[in-house]
Amino acid sequence: MSTLEGRADEALRRIGVHLDDPADGTLVARTPITGEEIGRLRPSTADEVDAALTSAHKAFQSWRSVPAPVRGGVVRQLGILLTQHKDDLAELVTLEAGKIPSEALGEVQEMIDICEFAVGLSRQLYGKTMASERPGHRLMETWHPLGVVGVISAFNFPVAVWSWNTAIALVCGDTVVWKPSEATPLTAIACDALLKRACIDVGADPEIHQLIQGPAAVGEQLVSDSRVALLSATGSVRMGRTVAPVVAARFGRVLLELGGNNGAIVAPSADLDLAVRGIVFSAAGTAGQRCTSLRRVIVHESIADELVRRIADAYGQLEVGDPFDDGVLVGPLINEASFTAMATAIDKARADGGEVVCGGDRVGDGESYYASPAIVRMPEQTSVVRDETFAPILYVLTYSTFDEAIELHNAVPQGLSSAIFTTDQREAESFLGPEGSDCGIANVNIGTSGAEIGGAFGGEKETGGGRESGSDAWQTYMRRATNTVNYSDQLPLAQGVDFG
């Protein structure tokens, strides 16, 4: 057993998972840190996926009738267990996703935060009472559990996105069937084990959560099954184009979190010290593999040279390497395909007249893929800039007028996260207004990544339009009923209709 495989095994054991090594295990967990195998599992069969859906659907029949504050008790206990095993789960996140420990710990903290949010929410699933036009009548809305929620998550946030969906879905009275990324099966096993333990601790039915693992075919079965009332899928735009029509054809609900070609405008009045810090973390953090990673900087021509110089200087201080090593801030890309996509994008940018200021080179060799974060100055927003490359490439464009900056910013098909760095209040308010950023997230003097759980998370256009986490995102996981109660002895009709 290798050192990293041993670390994964020990972290799982501390959580309470004893991973077998089945002879027919074709689902291989590999760490992007070295490329080596750290676990082997047997993927779910079609019959097992069907059984998981059957169990989740059956569990829903009773779970939906459990009072919401009682349902919140499961999520409260999950938060307690996550707190106890924060270091263990974060270690698995680093091993499978390649995040530096600080980011991995932050992801688990995000899980704890959403549990706290959901527990409070379990006592706040409010409906409305409206004024009725008919005397002796009351008009109101009530919210009810929806059904089975299918969750398909991506490698880059292997546990946080699951928790956003699961914590909210459970307090709303739904049950969950989760299909994680093939790249992160061990973190998924750990999360499932902790949630099942939480259920047992508080006397709830562990069948309210089901874990299925394997290739795309496993997820396709989840997408097409009519027992899945809501499908929440995180991934590429291409995946969304495949998933959405299938769910729509069976009149299911879909919550999509897809690509994010995020941009930041840097105005002449910007605090450049602040802007550089925000840009560097947003662009290079998680090796550029966040859906909210900064891909485009749109900077005023009067300060472009200075800003690029400062970012390049900061990039020169970023240590790329094994995320477990002290001082490392940029870990590995998830696999060879990611590095190939990065190299291809940089070559295309050069062909389009782009100038590579720094970075873009492979760091090290072997079966792991590390890359130095790249800065590329572009003469215009060509197709390679409009397409999202899931890697640490930062394209820099210039503008002369604020209207031009907004036009450049919005001229991409994605619409997840955005930012402006300015001390001009008019520019800041205009960016947040209806003629400003067309994204689901718009920030002022802060980068595009690092969203808090209190706000609804999601984007517009090809990002899919879904909303997860805070605010009123819970309504996605429930169905609304409009109720009219007649407490009089008359039967007046609405709109003054007289039926004799």
| Catalytic residue ranges | 257, 291
Measuring CA to CA, how many Å separate 17 from each of 2, 21, 186?
Answer: 19, 13, 10
Please answer whether residues 176 and 52 qualify as being in contact, where contact means their C-beta atoms are separated by less than 8 angstroms: no
Sequence-distant (6+) residues with CB within 8 A of 52 are 44, 177, 210, 211, 212
Pairing of strands 148-152, 228-234: parallel
- For residue 41 the two structure tokens come to 């599992």
Beta bridge partners of 265: 298, 420
d(CA 8, CA 18): 11
DSSP 79-119: HHHHHHTHHHHHHHHHHHH---HHHHHHHHHHHHHHHHHHH
User: How many Cβ atoms sit within 10 Å of the Cβ of residue 229?
Assistant: 19
Sequence-distant (6+) residues with CB within 8 A of 118 are 72, 75, 167, 168, 170, 171
Please answer whether residues 323 and 98 qualify as being in contact, where contact means their C-beta atoms are separated by less than 8 angstroms: yes
Which backbone phi and psi does 482 adopt, to 5 degrees?
A: -95, 125
| 469: nearest Cα among 441, 443, 497 | 441
Torsion angle, alpha carbons of 346, 351, 356, 362, to 10: 30
